[in-house]
Structure 1
Protein backbone atom coordinates (compact mmCIF):
# COMPACT_ATOMS: atom_id res chain seq x y z
CA UNK A 1 0.00 0.00 0.00
CA UNK A 2 1.36 3.41 -0.95
CA UNK A 3 0.79 6.46 1.20
CA UNK A 4 -0.22 9.47 -0.87
CA UNK A 5 0.77 12.75 0.72
CA UNK A 6 0.21 15.15 -2.14
CA UNK A 7 3.88 16.06 -2.11
CA UNK A 8 6.19 15.10 -4.95
CA UNK A 9 8.77 12.67 -3.60
CA UNK A 10 11.23 12.84 -6.52
CA UNK A 11 14.78 13.77 -5.62
CA UNK A 12 15.44 17.32 -6.70
CA UNK A 13 18.71 18.76 -7.88
CA UNK A 14 20.47 21.97 -6.91
CA UNK A 15 19.59 24.82 -9.24
CA UNK A 16 23.20 26.00 -9.13
CA UNK A 17 25.45 22.94 -9.30
CA UNK A 18 23.09 20.07 -10.18
CA UNK A 19 23.91 17.92 -7.14
CA UNK A 20 21.06 16.16 -5.33
CA UNK A 21 19.27 18.33 -2.77
CA UNK A 22 18.53 16.48 0.47
CA UNK A 23 14.93 16.53 1.64
CA UNK A 24 14.88 17.89 5.17
CA UNK A 25 11.70 17.98 7.22
CA UNK A 26 8.53 19.70 6.12
CA UNK A 27 7.87 23.02 4.53
CA UNK A 28 9.07 24.53 1.30
CA UNK A 29 11.30 22.32 -0.83
CA UNK A 30 14.95 23.36 -0.86
CA UNK A 31 16.29 24.64 -4.18
CA UNK A 32 20.03 24.51 -3.42
CA UNK A 33 22.19 21.81 -1.88
CA UNK A 34 24.35 24.18 0.17
CA UNK A 35 24.38 27.77 1.34
CA UNK A 36 27.33 28.49 -0.97
CA UNK A 37 25.28 27.44 -4.03
CA UNK A 38 22.42 29.63 -2.85
CA UNK A 39 24.84 32.55 -2.49
CA UNK A 40 26.37 32.03 -5.96
CA UNK A 41 22.89 31.95 -7.50
CA UNK A 42 21.97 35.18 -5.71
CA UNK A 43 25.16 36.84 -6.92
CA UNK A 44 24.46 35.78 -10.50
CA UNK A 45 20.87 37.05 -10.36
CA UNK A 46 22.04 40.37 -8.93
CA UNK A 47 24.75 40.71 -11.55
CA UNK A 48 22.32 39.89 -14.36
CA UNK A 49 19.83 42.44 -13.02
CA UNK A 50 22.51 45.16 -12.92
CA UNK A 51 23.56 44.30 -16.48
CA UNK A 52 19.97 44.53 -17.71
CA UNK A 53 19.74 40.86 -18.68
CA UNK A 54 16.46 38.96 -18.42
CA UNK A 55 15.95 37.30 -15.04
CA UNK A 56 15.95 33.80 -16.51
CA UNK A 57 19.34 34.34 -18.21
CA UNK A 58 22.14 31.90 -17.58
CA UNK A 59 25.59 33.43 -17.66
CA UNK A 60 28.50 31.06 -18.14
CA UNK A 61 32.18 31.76 -18.48
CA UNK A 62 33.99 30.56 -21.57
CA UNK A 63 35.59 27.83 -19.45
CA UNK A 64 32.20 26.66 -18.19
CA UNK A 65 30.83 26.50 -21.75
CA UNK A 66 33.89 24.52 -22.85
CA UNK A 67 33.51 22.11 -19.91
CA UNK A 68 29.81 21.65 -20.70
CA UNK A 69 30.61 20.91 -24.35
CA UNK A 70 33.30 18.40 -23.26
CA UNK A 71 30.85 16.59 -20.96
CA UNK A 72 28.26 16.41 -23.76
CA UNK A 73 30.91 15.08 -26.17
CA UNK A 74 31.96 12.35 -23.70
CA UNK A 75 28.29 11.33 -23.29
CA UNK A 76 27.84 11.14 -27.07
CA UNK A 77 30.98 9.02 -27.43
CA UNK A 78 29.72 6.65 -24.74
CA UNK A 79 26.35 6.38 -26.54
CA UNK A 80 28.19 5.53 -29.76
CA UNK A 81 30.13 2.84 -27.86
CA UNK A 82 26.84 1.32 -26.70
CA UNK A 83 25.41 1.40 -30.23
CA UNK A 84 28.56 -0.24 -31.64
CA UNK A 85 28.50 -2.94 -28.95
CA UNK A 86 24.84 -3.71 -29.68
CA UNK A 87 25.52 -3.88 -33.43
CA UNK A 88 28.41 -6.28 -32.82
CA UNK A 89 26.32 -8.52 -30.54
CA UNK A 90 28.22 -7.79 -27.32
CA UNK A 91 27.51 -9.84 -24.21
CA UNK A 92 24.99 -8.60 -21.66
CA UNK A 93 27.64 -7.90 -19.01
CA UNK A 94 29.61 -5.70 -21.44
CA UNK A 95 26.45 -3.83 -22.42
CA UNK A 96 25.55 -3.37 -18.76
CA UNK A 97 28.95 -1.82 -18.05
CA UNK A 98 28.75 0.45 -21.10
CA UNK A 99 25.23 1.58 -20.18
CA UNK A 100 26.30 2.31 -16.59
CA UNK A 101 29.15 4.46 -17.90
CA UNK A 102 26.80 6.23 -20.32
CA UNK A 103 24.37 6.96 -17.49
CA UNK A 104 27.14 8.44 -15.32
CA UNK A 105 28.35 10.63 -18.18
CA UNK A 106 24.81 11.77 -19.03
CA UNK A 107 24.17 12.77 -15.41
CA UNK A 108 27.44 14.68 -15.39
CA UNK A 109 26.63 16.34 -18.72
CA UNK A 110 23.28 17.71 -17.59
CA UNK A 111 24.74 19.99 -14.94
CA UNK A 112 25.68 23.48 -16.04
CA UNK A 113 28.59 23.99 -13.68
Structure 2
Protein backbone atom coordinates (compact mmCIF):
# COMPACT_ATOMS: atom_id res chain seq x y z
CA UNK A 1 0.00 0.00 0.00
CA UNK A 2 1.33 3.44 -0.94
CA UNK A 3 1.31 6.17 1.73
CA UNK A 4 -1.03 8.30 -0.39
CA UNK A 5 -3.64 5.52 -0.24
CA UNK A 6 -3.85 5.57 3.55
CA UNK A 7 -6.47 7.45 5.49
CA UNK A 8 -9.10 9.80 4.25
CA UNK A 9 -9.04 11.12 0.68
CA UNK A 10 -7.95 14.71 0.29
CA UNK A 11 -10.81 17.14 -0.15
CA UNK A 12 -8.66 20.03 -1.40
CA UNK A 13 -5.86 19.98 -3.95
CA UNK A 14 -3.56 22.18 -1.86
CA UNK A 15 -3.45 24.14 1.37
CA UNK A 16 -4.31 27.45 -0.29
CA UNK A 17 -7.54 25.91 -1.64
CA UNK A 18 -8.40 24.63 1.81
CA UNK A 19 -7.71 28.11 3.25
CA UNK A 20 -9.95 29.82 0.63
CA UNK A 21 -12.75 27.36 1.45
CA UNK A 22 -12.40 28.12 5.17
CA UNK A 23 -12.47 31.87 4.49
CA UNK A 24 -15.61 31.51 2.40
CA UNK A 25 -17.36 29.37 5.01
CA UNK A 26 -16.52 31.99 7.63
CA UNK A 27 -17.80 34.84 5.43
CA UNK A 28 -21.21 33.26 4.84
CA UNK A 29 -21.70 32.00 8.39
CA UNK A 30 -24.91 33.45 9.84
CA UNK A 31 -26.12 34.83 6.49
CA UNK A 32 -28.68 33.60 3.98
CA UNK A 33 -25.90 33.01 1.44
CA UNK A 34 -25.54 29.27 0.68
CA UNK A 35 -22.30 27.72 1.93
CA UNK A 36 -21.39 26.54 -1.56
CA UNK A 37 -21.90 29.97 -3.16
CA UNK A 38 -19.01 31.58 -5.00
CA UNK A 39 -18.48 35.15 -3.87
CA UNK A 40 -16.80 37.50 -6.36
CA UNK A 41 -16.07 41.18 -6.10
CA UNK A 42 -17.56 43.34 -8.86
CA UNK A 43 -14.11 43.53 -10.48
CA UNK A 44 -13.66 39.74 -10.35
CA UNK A 45 -17.13 39.21 -11.80
CA UNK A 46 -16.44 41.67 -14.64
CA UNK A 47 -13.07 40.02 -15.35
CA UNK A 48 -14.71 36.58 -15.44
CA UNK A 49 -17.37 37.92 -17.82
CA UNK A 50 -14.65 39.36 -20.07
CA UNK A 51 -12.76 36.04 -20.11
CA UNK A 52 -15.94 34.12 -20.94
CA UNK A 53 -16.74 36.59 -23.77
CA UNK A 54 -13.24 36.14 -25.23
CA UNK A 55 -13.66 32.36 -25.01
CA UNK A 56 -17.04 32.49 -26.80
CA UNK A 57 -15.60 34.70 -29.55
CA UNK A 58 -12.69 32.29 -30.06
CA UNK A 59 -15.10 29.34 -30.22
CA UNK A 60 -17.20 31.21 -32.81
CA UNK A 61 -14.04 31.92 -34.84
CA UNK A 62 -13.17 28.22 -34.75
CA UNK A 63 -16.69 27.25 -35.82
CA UNK A 64 -16.57 29.75 -38.69
CA UNK A 65 -13.17 28.46 -39.82
CA UNK A 66 -14.46 24.88 -39.76
CA UNK A 67 -17.53 25.91 -41.77
CA UNK A 68 -15.32 27.63 -44.32
CA UNK A 69 -13.06 24.56 -44.49
CA UNK A 70 -9.98 26.51 -43.38
CA UNK A 71 -6.59 24.85 -43.64
CA UNK A 72 -5.30 22.58 -40.89
CA UNK A 73 -2.81 25.15 -39.59
CA UNK A 74 -5.53 27.76 -39.08
CA UNK A 75 -7.81 25.25 -37.34
CA UNK A 76 -4.94 24.12 -35.09
CA UNK A 77 -4.09 27.70 -34.14
CA UNK A 78 -7.72 28.56 -33.40
CA UNK A 79 -8.20 25.40 -31.33
CA UNK A 80 -5.08 26.23 -29.31
CA UNK A 81 -6.46 29.72 -28.67
CA UNK A 82 -9.80 28.30 -27.51
CA UNK A 83 -7.96 25.97 -25.12
CA UNK A 84 -5.76 28.80 -23.79
CA UNK A 85 -8.79 31.02 -23.19
CA UNK A 86 -10.68 28.15 -21.52
CA UNK A 87 -7.80 27.64 -19.07
CA UNK A 88 -7.74 31.37 -18.40
CA UNK A 89 -11.52 31.48 -17.91
CA UNK A 90 -11.32 28.76 -15.23
CA UNK A 91 -9.26 31.06 -13.04
CA UNK A 92 -11.43 32.68 -10.38
CA UNK A 93 -8.66 34.40 -8.41
The residue aligned with 1:107 is 87
Over 3 Å counting, the alpha-carbon distance change for 1:29 and 1:74 in structure 2 is farther
RMSD value over aligned CA atoms?
Answer: 2.0
Aligned-pair distance for 1:94? 1.4
Unmatched runs of 5 consecutive residues or more in structure 1? 1-23
Q: What is the TM-score with the length of structure 1 in the denominator?
A: 0.67
The residue aligned with 1:25 is 4
The residue aligned with 1:18 is none
| 1:62-101 pair list within 5 angstroms | 62-101=42-81
Query: What is the number of equivalent residue pairs in this alignment?
Result: 90
The residue aligned with 1:56 is 36
Unmatched runs of 5 consecutive residues or more in structure 2? none
Taking the aligned partners of 2:42 and 2:66, their CA distance within structure 1 comes to 36
DSSP-derived class of the 1:77 partner? helix
